[in-house]
Structure 1
Amino acid sequence: MKGQESARMWRLQLLFGWLHFVLAVPSIYLLLGLPLVMREHGWSGTDIGLFQLTGLPAVFKFLLALPVQRYRAPQGHYRLWALGLCLLLALLLVLASQQAMTTNRLVLFGLAFAAGVLATWADIPVNALAIKLLPQTQRLRAGGIRSAALFLAAIVGAGVMLLVQQRWGWQAPFLLMAAGLLLALPFLGRLHEADVLAVECQATRPALVDWSGFFRQPGARLWIWLLLSGFPFLGAAWLYLKPLLLDQGMPAQQVAWVAGVGGGVVGVLASILGARLVQRLGPAWVTPWFMVGALVALLALTGAVWLQASTLWLVVAAYLLATAMGAVSSLMFGLMMFFSRQQHQADDYGLQASLFVLTRLLVPIGAGALLDRSGPAGMLVGLCLATLGVCALAMAARRSIAQATVDACIPDDRADRAKSKPAPQVS
């Protein structure tokens, strides 16, 4: 019986991991992969830069979450939203495949922007559904799987899809991405969401958005500050890693393998192992140490750049940074699930995701200004100092995290007996 329960949980985890992967690949391909194709077809730097505005919808997840939370169905509320939005995104990708790089640029921008809206929007019911269906003991693992899926999506979207485009033409990447989405829909449609939440009699009427209630949760205010600051400084260092490695004299092809493929693989492994470590030791205990690990990784990269170290030291520093990225992102995603209230999964998740994306976009702008003013070492020193403050904040937030994750690390069999409700099934 316990083996069947574990198998069902793994099927759920893999389904949500696949959904995170196929929703992330189109955005990454459009933002990070397609600019290379654009340059080959004569797009200017300004045109390519303006095209990055297609990623703007991610900042407004809190608004996209409102209709998902408010307009509910008696049976399979989040499941129906996820099915509809994923299907629309797949159809839009098929439509984009019928265009060409020589199509009017405004048309391409419109299609890419619409894809960004749908991918961002679909992410909300998918995560809300995961929060609903997964018991507390599975949420940290879900954060690790999601982080690993995003690292894999970065490898595929910014690398593999470019190779596919060069080998088979413009249509192939879009059709492959659409096929990945369509592959998940039958499994998503067979989830029994209503079985888990039959007690939610309010599912038949609109739920009001209550963001003030989110902030009234025990420990929510400290958690928000940690959410805003825990990842962006690492993310800024990762964003500028490739230019830094090039400036240190590393060949471009080696940079692509080290920071692109190798870093992505390390991030995947760190996401999975980091989530396992958090699950065993507890989020409240591990969180400060993960932030200390992030500081160590940044210090290693700072030392390598400052001392103009050998290639080996640069590679080690890059992989330390990828390790910290994977571990911290899996922790952040897992904790976001714990701070999403029952019956408010969509709007709570949307609010947290918007805040997470906002600082992830703003911090690199400040880091870039510091890079221009003080050079690579000066920028990295600034990121180290900021991360030192995050370490102090993580220590202060330990009690808040412990309150929110009190049942996160109890054994699965005890959790199941305590909850005394059937596990969700996916065929």
Structure 2
Amino acid sequence: MTVSSLRTLTAVALAGCFMMCMALPALSAPAPPAGEQDAAMVASLKRELARTFALPKDAALDPALRKEAEDIGAAHLERIGRLLPAWLDEEKRAGARPGEVRDPNYLYAAVFARLLNELALWHLDTGDARYEEATLSVLKASPQACRMEGDSRFQDYASRIRRIQAMPPAFRPAVLATERQLLERWGKPRAVALAWPLPLPQDAAAEAIDRLRSGGARVLPLPPVLAASLLAEGEAYGKLGFEDRCILQQWWLRASLAQGAAPAAVLNAFRYGTLMTATDRFGNAFDPPGSDVTPPDARASPAYPSLAQRFDVTGSTTVTRELDAAGKPLRASVTAREITVRGIRGMRPVVFENTFDAASVQFALQGSASPGARLPEVFNMNWSLDPAASAAPKKTGGKTP
């Protein structure tokens, strides 16, 4: 038996939303007709999506593969371009909250959230057995699997094509056919994405690296590009560039397989570990590094991420923290998420599910446990945009098995 204190805290966002960093073009007064506003929003959304399907000119791709990949990408952009007006109309028909004024920027954010979520679901999606086997083989062996040219936030499609480039040419027709099928799932009902791995692969890798530092058994040698920064300098995972993060995920994929983990679980962990969430893609534009620091005397009011305000992200996170003998927090992790996002209905809002992770963990690491508390402590943190919600922490739990 272990004793767990389960406390619920409601964080409320009181500040107003502000313009998105990639907002639709400014609308002059008087406002253009609704049809022109809709056309401007759709055009802007198309441009944003096109960024994630652009193949860098300096990517070392076979000409035939580049041509076929560009054709597949162009066909997909055209199909989604035809869907966007329908998504916009659907959002207009969605019910408004009492007293809510919905302007074009609200509509843009809601449809853009849906578009970002389709990117995330596609990233996590699985293909047939041959596709999964070929993907795993490349991730195990190819040093090119994590290479990036250009802005790392928009490598969604290019990273998949680089993997195909590293496969034997005989595999390419079948793999490209599966890529088409995966893209055709956009905007359609699909199987529920596999759950977030627990622990996250980067956290599991960090524990293995800590054991290395203290002279423990070595699972696999770290790639030289990471050995100095992670072992010698103690660089935090969050401080690494996205390409280096991918290399660490690739290392942990190989280490996990070497320890007997199931291939499907290893691939799922890699996909979540390299998932470009909304926070990864745009978070710094809304919440610059250091802006989310919660003062020790303000534990009842953790900062509500501005990104979450702009996209109307609400819900709850469950955080588990470990304590030392004196009751001081050692580490904390998010163990469950229940998130809702305006514009995303009928499916998990995967791309926003980690929006509150950093603030939740930071809150859990503040202060000390109550007298007599033992491992682990569990917090339910509720995130609400309703100013009427209570912001006081409440202890609601007791013993758990």
Answer whether TM exceeds 0.5 for this pair.
no
Bigger relative CO (Cα 8 Å, ≥ 6 apart): 2
Higher gyration radius (CA): 2
* Structure having the larger proportion of residues in strand: 2
What is the TM-score when the length of structure 2 is the normalising length?
Answer: 0.28
* Structure having the larger proportion of residues in helix: 1
